[in-house]
């Protein structure tokens, strides 16, 4: 039975008067008696959705959305208001899973705080498209291999001549406000960012999709370069730390706010280690900025991109991660954040156009 025939049968037998509501218990009986092709997980979700209604009914349109593999905010309300507890360990008890499905289950418990969302993600996950955006980290390695055999230091004479590095003397080349993320200060920064993107970025992209995660990553990168152009006007900038810290801070904030629901093992220890590693990277960036290990012809790259990325992650990123499979356009808070971010971008553009001349900033000569 195809999807349209299934929906027609449901409407004819369960809602002949076109009231727009369907009794979920009657619907469950119809599924079992006709052996309809509905996943057990979807039936459990439907029952939980009905618990938010005193009469045990569900809206017909919500049923259509469920069968069509769509989600709405009603599911979140059902989780909060429903009185029927879903089996919490259903995914952990699954046996006979292949290696990839076990990895998908691991990602579900690593990223999502709610059992309903985990089950939804597990059963609806598709291998296409893969997390290609985070996998593009290989670009860092390929480009870095061309410079002095992996010794990526800003005092290398060829390093700052790259058309990708952000330099205050090249502000008119607008692409540099984004492309600086493809260059790194050294193997330490490169390895740290690559590791975080693979460990946190790939699972996030698998769950939330390429559009949301790439938007969050690039928003952190752009905020990082613009913040440097305002707060550290003489400094160049390299590294993808703005985007990486946007992802990491959003994920960590989501874990903290949903601490009781997160089922990832050793979450406290992992939280402490993550904070220590991120703080150490920021401290290292500050040290390199003001006390470079070797003499340099100009200021060392700024560390302000780390902080800007973290702010983007805690604000915009947290909203994205807490809205799994929900429409962001329907959330007033999302539009407030977008307006705030747009205002910051507009201010930064005017700052870069007028402030350097008005303040008489002494910019080091570009390479």
Active site residue 184: no
Taking the C-alpha atoms of residue 233 and residue 172, their distance in angstroms, rounded to an integer, is 14
Catalytic residue among 74, 241, 302, 323: 241
Residue 125 Cα to chain centre, angstroms? 17
Q: Give the active site residue among 167, 184, 208, 306.
A: 306
Q: How many CB atoms lie within 10 A of CB 155?
A: 14
SS3 for the chain is CCHHHHHHHHHHHHCCCCCCEEEHHHHHHHHHHHCCCCCHHHHHHHHHHHCCCCCCEEEHHHHHHHHCCCCCHHHHHHHHHCCCCCCCCCCCCCCCCCHHHHHHHHHHHHHCCCHHHHHHHHHHCCCCCCCHHHHCCHHHHHHHCCCHHHCCCCCCCCHHHCCCCECHHHCCCCCHHHHHHHCCCCHHHHHHHHHHHHHHHHHHHHHHCHHHHHHHHHHHHHHHHHHHHHHCCCCCECCCHHHHHHHHHHHHHHHHHCCCCCCCCCHHHHHHHHHHHHHHHHHHHHHHHHCCCCCCCCCCCCCHHHHHHHHHHHHHHHHHHCCCCCCHHHCHHHHHHHHHHHHHHHHHHHHHHHHHHHHCCCCCCCC
Task: Let me know the angle formed at the C-alpha of 54 by 53 and 57, rounded to the nearest 5 degrees.
Answer: 50
Distance CA 147, CA 295 (A): 19
**208 an active-site residue?**
no
What is the distance, to the nearest Å, from the Cα of residue 55 to the centroid of all Cα atoms in its chain?
38
Supply the residues annotated as catalytic. 241, 306
């Amino acid at each position: 039975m195809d999807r349209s025939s299934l929906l027609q049968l449901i409407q004819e037998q369960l809602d002949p008067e076109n009231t727009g509501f369907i009794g979920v218990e009657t619907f469950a009986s119809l599924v079992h008696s006709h052996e309809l092709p509905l996943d057990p997980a979807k039936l459990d979700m439907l029952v939980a959705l009905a618990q938010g209604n005193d009469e045990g009914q569900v809206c017909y349109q919500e049923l259509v959305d469920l069968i069509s593999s769509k989600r709405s905010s009603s599911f979140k309300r059902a989780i909060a208001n429903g009185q029927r507890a879903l089996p919490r360990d259903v995914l952990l008890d699954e046996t006979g899973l292949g290696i990839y499905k076990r990895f998908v289950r691991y990602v579900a418990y690593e990223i999502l705080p709610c059992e309903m969302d985990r089950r939804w993600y597990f059963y609806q996950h598709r291998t296409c498209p893969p997390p290609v955006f985070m996998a593009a980290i290989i670009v860092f390695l390929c480009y870095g291999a061309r410079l002095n055999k992996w010794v990526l230091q800003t005092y290398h004479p060829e390093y700052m001549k790259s058309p990708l590095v952000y330099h205050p003397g090249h502000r008119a080349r607008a692409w540099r406000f984004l492309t600086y993320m493809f260059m790194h200060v050294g193997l330490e920064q490169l390895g740290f960012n690559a590791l975080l993107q693979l460990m946190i970025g790939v699972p996030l992209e698998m769950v939330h999709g390429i559009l949301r995660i790439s938007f969050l990553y690039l928003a952190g990168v752009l905020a990082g370069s613009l913040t440097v152009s305002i707060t550290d006007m003489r400094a160049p900038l390299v590294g993808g730390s703005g985007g990486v810290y946007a992802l990491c801070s959003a994920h960590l904030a989501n874990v903290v706010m949903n601490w009781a629901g997160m089922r990832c093992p050793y979450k406290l220890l992992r939280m402490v280690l993550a904070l220590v590693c991120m703080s150490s990277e920021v401290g290292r960036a500050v040290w390199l900025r003001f006390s470079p290990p070797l003499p340099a012809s100009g200021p060392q790259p700024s560390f302000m991109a780390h902080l800007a990325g973290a702010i983007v992650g805690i604000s915009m990123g947290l909203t994205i991660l807490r809205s799994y499979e929900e429409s962001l356009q329907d959330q007033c808070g999302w539009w407030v954040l977008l307006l705030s971010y747009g205002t910051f971008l507009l201010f930064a553009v005017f700052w870069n156009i007028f402030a350097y001349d008005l303040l008489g900033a002494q910019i080091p000569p570009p390479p």
